Structure 1
Amino acid sequence: MVFMPFLLKTNYRTLKTKKMSSIIQLLPDHVANQIAAGEVVQRPASVVKELLENAVDAKATDIKLVLKDAGKSLVQVIDNGIGMNVTDARLCFERHATSKIRQAEDLFSLHTKGFRGEALASIAAIAHVEMKTRQEQEELGNHIVIEGSKFVSQEPAVLPKGTSFSVKNLFYNIPARRNFLKSDTVELRHVIDEFQRVALAHPNIYFTMYHNGSEAFNLPNSNVRQRIVNIFSGKTNEKLVPIQEETDILSIQGFVGKPEFAKKNKGEQFFFVNDRYIKSGYLHHAVMSAYEGLLPAGSQPSYFIYLQVPPHTIDINIHPTKTEIKFDDEQALYAILRATIKHSLGQFNVAPVLDFDRDPNLDTPYAFQNKAAEYPTIQVDRSYNPFSDEKKERSGSTKNHYPKTESASSWESLYVGLKQEAFDIAPFEVENEEVTASLFEDEPTEQSVTKTYQIQKKYIVSPIKSGMVIIDQNRAHERILYEQFLKNMTVQHASSQQLLFPLHLFFTRNEIHLLAELQAVLHSIGFIFEGFESDAVHISGIPAHTSESEIPPLLEQLMRDLSEGIPENSFSLNDSIAKSMAKSLAVKNGVYLSEKDQENIVNNLFACKEPNTTPFQKNTFITMRVEDIDKKFAL
């Protein structure tokens, strides 16, 4: 009996140990599918990408994409591919069920888009999915309905050849994920990006896209150049320079943009490897290196580059979205791509080519193409004697061709006055740098106390009672313009300057749609739009104190800043637009400012409500007290 408590305590510890060892448990399938959906499906655009790629793998020649509420309510993809039988239609919704690979080695010899087999299972776990499919040789197809990984029904039905996937109410069972979705405009832009990538990779397929009942894209099957033009507007055709190269390592085809059409954003930049869209900072650097010396600072060229490489030389399975690839020999690809683009830019006279062996004297004008050669005539004045003392008159035939010669005896007269005339040089002035103002004055006056100075064309120094203020001219002007734009948009309309000739600016369809939505807000700033077309906008009025040359980069910067997220309420939208325009129009560092401009910046800055920081929460100025300066000299 003495040992009973010890035995009971030992048994309790044993039971406690056994209970703690079973903390790790296998997740149910529906929970595992929802976790996998977090990697595969981030937004409606992810669903669009997976379904479009499945339709391409099904060898479809006609693919339709139908959306409602930017894909939040409905994403439907209809294709005329090979379809699926009864077994495959049910099995495709199981995790890691795929027809693309049979063993691990197949991952390095892929010729299709999807291959992991987790896409449909993940989509079915977070939405209501309806699939209709029929093979060509079958009389009846299959109609399957799934809600949150649960099979609701499966029955035969009379269907057309191909497959139709309908994904409704995305994230209906995960409200937290649905709350993270952006506005319809932002989500639609992401869907359009995915649609364009698949459409550019397969120009031989007919693609159409509908959003809320209206047609957004109609892309008939064509070649690569025509597909690019159909997507990005007709003005794109004159911007493209073709590139082509065949090597043992890879094959390069596609188009690059001319330097004069470069933009500030990276919107029209596409790499395709074996007809798969990828992102590669390494290859992008190769393209930028080929444009070295041709682009303004901060500009980005457009390019549509298609690479064909042996499948065993790349690894696709390194990222859940399959947009990143590892190459076997990246350095060789870099060098070949850079040389190919550089050669094309020079071949089409886009880049200057220096040929030191060319003799410009041998260039023949086109006007001389059919002109006969003229033989030169030689005439000799036999009566000419340089040592004769008398002036001789030329014969009638020769004096028409030769001027009179001076007597040889007067040759000394050629040097008369040479000493004086040769060195009689008129006084000349040496060009000096104009000094507009003196940094220090001999006697201090009241005006000199309040004077401002510009340092390195970047900072404005203004004295104050306790020391001095050093102002960043770019940041200060950003704060001034930001508050002015906000005031114009919320309190009163800004003044607009009418243009004698309206501006005609070309943009993509997505950008035109965005500008049309922002028309009312931009009108309050000073913009006046005459009309919108499918690929162009006409502007007859611009904000006061703004030049015409500033408008195209201003609108590009505005759309780029708003592309990541357009706020739902109008105040946040006004704030975003005011920040973007202030950033674009603010005076840049490196620009010389007159004393009057410097004083205006100083006075307007300290008249702002929040002069201490920029709209992006950066300091606009710093102060240095006399005590701080004294400490520097005390060291």
Structure 2
Amino acid sequence: MTKIKILDSQEIQKIAAGEVVERPVNVLKELIENSIDAQADQITIYLEDAGKKLIKIIDNGIGMSPEDAKICFAHHATSKITTVSDLNSITTFGFRGEALSSISSVSKILLTTKQENDQLGTTLILNQGKIEKESVSSCNMGTEITIEDLFFNVPARKKFLKSRETEYRAIVSLFHAFCFSYTNIGFKLYHENKLIYNCPSTNDLINRFGQLYNSEIIRNIIPIDFIDKNKNTGYKITGAISTPKYSRYDRNQIFLFVNKRWVKNYKLVQAFIKGYQGMLEVARFPSGVINIFVPFEEVDINIHPKKEEVQFLHPRLIENLITIEVKKALESTFDKNLGQQEVKYKSIDNQKELKWNFSNLVNIEHIKYNDLEDSNTNSKIKIIKPEEVLNILDETFENSNDIKIVQEAKKEQKSTIQNQIETSFIDPENIAIQSQEVSINKQNNIEYIDKTNLSYYKEEMLDYKLIGQIFKTYIIIENDQGLTLIDQHAAHERIIYEQIKDSLSNISKIRLLFPEIVELNSNDISILTQYFDLFDQTGISIEQISINSLIVKEVPIFLKNILVKDIILQSIAYINENHKIGPDKLRNLLLEKMHAQISCKSAIKAGDILQPDAMNNLIKNLYKIENKLTCPHGRPTIHNLTLVEIEKFFKRNYRQKVDYSI
């Protein structure tokens, strides 16, 4: 008896479906592409359980005839190509004829479709790829297709689906990609019968950013447009990118399209980021949409059934073009701003010279929105936090002559702002606020640690001589073994981190006099809400007040004068990057990450001048803890330079008792 058998056609379909359909987002991608190929200009998506239970798409495209509706589910049935040579000029998304066939073999489908000139539409019910019922129905022109119980007949594959949150994030990212690529189409997304996104068609890509994200990003988006006319290569690059003022802790807002097809290409992403070289902080990433148009014969989109990857004939040329054009767009924007600001702002208040004195600070416990009056302009000035000055100026100068500035200061802190902002015209790019050198032992963080019970630290007797501080960053001490250099920021960061871990169940918190409002897109908020309890454990009290807004009411005492938004954004990025690990492990790692973030934000910084008492307190507290050698991020806190190493360098050898005193 032969052991080799030919599989049943239905089993073949189930196995082959895995190449095209691995998860709900793959199904949604194929269905949206079919709607776009059908010339729809309005696409509505409904999801249940992140697509695991139900995916429904309604479009107003050209629809299908009854005959086409029945044959479209057959394997390799397509209207896009007739021969392999057609791939050289393919302009549609689908062409393999595998998608609907694969989807129908692992799900239950309800299809309703109607062409413009037909009086009635066609309705089909399919189960595992077989048509169970066919009928006529009254419906609008277009197609409505419902996919239910994905992988109900393939338990092994269903078992390996990701969590609901992970699948939903993948779907939202795909939805954003289609919205950016096809601004002429209106998109709606419902999840659990709740409208999540409503993106009407628009002619402006920058408006699309506002529909999908928030108003903050719109102010920091610039267009990019390039056509290679000199070399006649047919290359074209368009899109919109963020200025360096706006950045993220992850790459989730970078979208690259090749001939309007969303692709995932690491080298292209790196080429895009390279265009920002020297303009962004470490571990920060830009946002942007880049559309790359190349001749069809120079790109292969048929290297994988999912069609998410492409291969270029000249990949290095494409990468270099992206980097160069991003740099040009950013530089031209800077030049344009510098050229326009003088004209724009000199007109304010008859071009009079403005002089502001920010030397008077307000205690945080008594801060009020007091109006100050400028002697030259009679304009009203409000006091706000220093870090908000540039943002206030950017937003205010365009609309009003009234300049409102709010500055917040610590009660115990004796720092003052030394220099006045003096300029012949108001230029927000050139505003610099220099703070006076601060005695760190008067700052709240050090003071708080000194007053705290440190009995949980291992006591250790210290015998050293304080040499001092160098480069406003490192503390040098001398002992019997030689010299020791201490990184003041890393050391203080480790001290705070250990203190937070020890007092996790009873962190001292303060209620903010002015709660911090954090604007996020709805997707980020949906990610974050399930981790609110972790923030509460770290002393940060967060509530959702709208679809796109959070409010921070309480913070640990370490953060009482520090904005929490960065910690929130870093946490979201960390969740996105590590969503593949188990939920329990992710929560534990995220909690540690948040402790490290709070420690880093609260610690004294490189550049802060320390008085001897502050340095001694820092050294003693550091040497009382066990994990003193590194900060929570792994950077060293201490470096020892032994007496032997010093003597070796100077070629001294006292054992030979040679007189080197000359």
Fold in common (TM above 0.5): yes
- Match 1:312 to one of 266, 281, 297: 297
Q: Which residue of 2 aligns with 1:12?
A: none
Q: Which residue of 2 aligns with 1:287?
A: 272
Structure 1 position 493, deviation (Å): 4.8
Give the distance between the partners of 1:528 and 1:613, measured in 2 at CA: 29
Q: Which moved more, 1:563-572 or 1:518-527?
A: 563-572
Structure 1 position 613, deviation (Å): 11
Residues 286, 335 of structure 1: 8 Å contact kept: yes
Pairs within 5 Å for 1:127-142: 127-142=107-122
Structure 1 position 326, deviation (Å): 1.5
Q: Which residue of 2 aligns with 1:422?
A: none
Residues 48, 195 of structure 1: 8 Å contact kept: no
Please tell me the root mean square deviation across aligned C-alpha atoms, in Å.
4.4
Give the distance between the partners of 1:488 and 1:212, measured in 2 at CA: 40
CA 334–613 in structure 1, closer or farther in 2 if over 3 Å, else same: closer
CA 289–83 in structure 1, closer or farther in 2 if over 3 Å, else same: same
- Match 1:166 to one of 142, 146, 150: 146
Give the distance between the partners of 2:311 and 2:287, measured in 1 at CA: 23
Q: Secondary structure of 1:320's partner?
A: coil
Q: Which moved more, 1:580-589 or 1:492-501?
A: 580-589
Q: Say if 2:237 is the partner of 1:222.
A: no
Give the distance between the partners of 2:192 and 2:474, measured in 1 at CA: 50
Give the distance between the partners of 2:182 and 2:285, measured in 1 at CA: 25
What one-letter code is carried by the residue in structure 2 that aligns with 1:173? Answer: N
Pairs within 5 Å for 1:317-332: 317-332=302-317
- What count of residue pairs does the alignment treat as equivalent? 520
CA 24–614 in structure 1, closer or farther in 2 if over 3 Å, else same: farther
Pairs within 5 Å for 1:10-29: 23-29=3-9
Residues 57, 146 of structure 2: 8 Å contact kept: yes
Structure 1 position 108, deviation (Å): 2.1
Q: Which residue of 1 aligns with 2:158?
A: 178
What one-letter code is carried by the residue in structure 2 that aligns with 1:330? Answer: P
Q: Deviations over 1:504-556 (max 9, x none)?
A: 33221111233334334322321233653333323233222136556232211
Residues 498, 541 of structure 1: 8 Å contact kept: yes
Q: Which residue of 2 aligns with 1:385?
A: none
Q: Which residue of 2 aligns with 1:386?
A: none
CA 476–605 in structure 1, closer or farther in 2 if over 3 Å, else same: farther
Q: Say if 2:287 is the partner of 1:302.
A: yes
What one-letter code is carried by the residue in structure 2 that aligns with 1:333? Answer: I
- Match 2:225 to one of 225, 244, 248: 244
CA 166–257 in structure 1, closer or farther in 2 if over 3 Å, else same: same
Where in structure 1 are there 5+ consecutive unaligned residues? 1-18, 355-359, 371-444
Residues 454, 461 of structure 1: 8 Å contact kept: no
Q: Deviations over 1:124-155 (max 9, x none)?
A: 12211111112122222222222223332223
Give the distance between the partners of 1:98 and 1:517, measured in 2 at CA: 43
TM-score, scaled to structure 1:
0.70
Q: Which residue of 1 aligns with 2:77?
A: 97
Pairs within 5 Å for 1:588-627: 594=615, 596-605=617-626
What one-letter code is carried by the residue in structure 2 that aligns with 1:580? Answer: K
Give the distance between the partners of 2:528 and 2:514, measured in 1 at CA: 20
Q: Which residue of 2 aligns with 1:65?
A: 45
Q: Which runs of 4+ in 1 moved over 4 A?
A: 350-354, 449-465, 469-489, 547-550, 564-574, 586-595, 611-616, 618-622
Q: Deviations over 1:460-507 (max 9, x none)?
A: 999999xxx999999999998778667766xx3532233343323322
Q: Say if 2:13 is the partner of 1:33.
A: yes
- Match 1:496 to one of 495, 505, 509: 509
Give the distance between the partners of 1:81 and 1:182, measured in 2 at CA: 32
Q: Say if 2:326 is the partner of 1:341.
A: yes
Q: Deviations over 1:80-109 (max 9, x none)?
A: 111112222122112222111111112221
Q: Secondary structure of 2:331's partner?
A: helix
Q: Deviations over 1:314-356 (max 9, x none)?
A: 11112332122212223333333333222221222179999xx
What one-letter code is carried by the residue in structure 1 that aligns with 2:564? Answer: I
Pairs within 5 Å for 1:195-210: 195-210=175-190
Give the distance between the partners of 2:304 and 2:492, measured in 1 at CA: 43
Pairs within 5 Å for 1:160-559: 160-223=140-203, 224-247=205-228, 248=232, 249-349=234-334, 447-448=462-463, 492-529=505-542, 531-546=544-559, 549=562, 551-559=564-572
What one-letter code is carried by the residue in structure 2 that aligns with 1:190? Answer: A
CA 43–483 in structure 1, closer or farther in 2 if over 3 Å, else same: farther
Q: % of aligned pairs identical?
A: 30
What one-letter code is carried by the residue in structure 2 that aligns with 1:495? Answer: S
Give the distance between the partners of 1:121 and 1:518, measured in 2 at CA: 40
What one-letter code is carried by the residue in structure 2 that aligns with 1:284? Answer: V
CA 535–448 in structure 1, closer or farther in 2 if over 3 Å, else same: same
TM-score, scaled to structure 2:
0.68
What one-letter code is carried by the residue in structure 1 that aligns with 2:116? Answer: E
CA 564–152 in structure 1, closer or farther in 2 if over 3 Å, else same: farther
Query: Which structure is larger by alpha-carbon Rg, 1 or 2?
Result: 1
Q: Deviations over 1:406-435 (max 9, x none)?
A: xxxxxxxxxxxxxxxxxxxxxxxxxxxxxx
CA 225–353 in structure 1, closer or farther in 2 if over 3 Å, else same: closer
Give the distance between the partners of 1:31 and 1:462, measured in 2 at CA: 76
Where in structure 2 are there 5+ consecutive unaligned residues? 352-459, 646-652, 654-662
Q: Which moved more, 1:265-274 or 1:544-553?
A: 544-553
Q: Which residue of 1 aligns with 2:404?
A: none
Q: Secondary structure of 2:553's partner?
A: strand
Q: Secondary structure of 1:108's partner?
A: helix
Residues 482, 579 of structure 1: 8 Å contact kept: no
CA 307–91 in structure 1, closer or farther in 2 if over 3 Å, else same: same
Give the distance between the partners of 1:153 and 1:494, measured in 2 at CA: 63
Q: Which moved more, 1:514-523 or 1:270-279?
A: 514-523
Q: Deviations over 1:600-628 (max 9, x none)?
A: 3453446xxxx999999x99999x9x9xx
Give the distance between the partners of 1:619 and 1:285, measured in 2 at CA: 26
Q: Secondary structure of 1:348's partner?
A: helix
Give the distance between the partners of 1:181 and 1:344, measured in 2 at CA: 41
CA 543–327 in structure 1, closer or farther in 2 if over 3 Å, else same: same
Structure 1 position 29, deviation (Å): 2.0
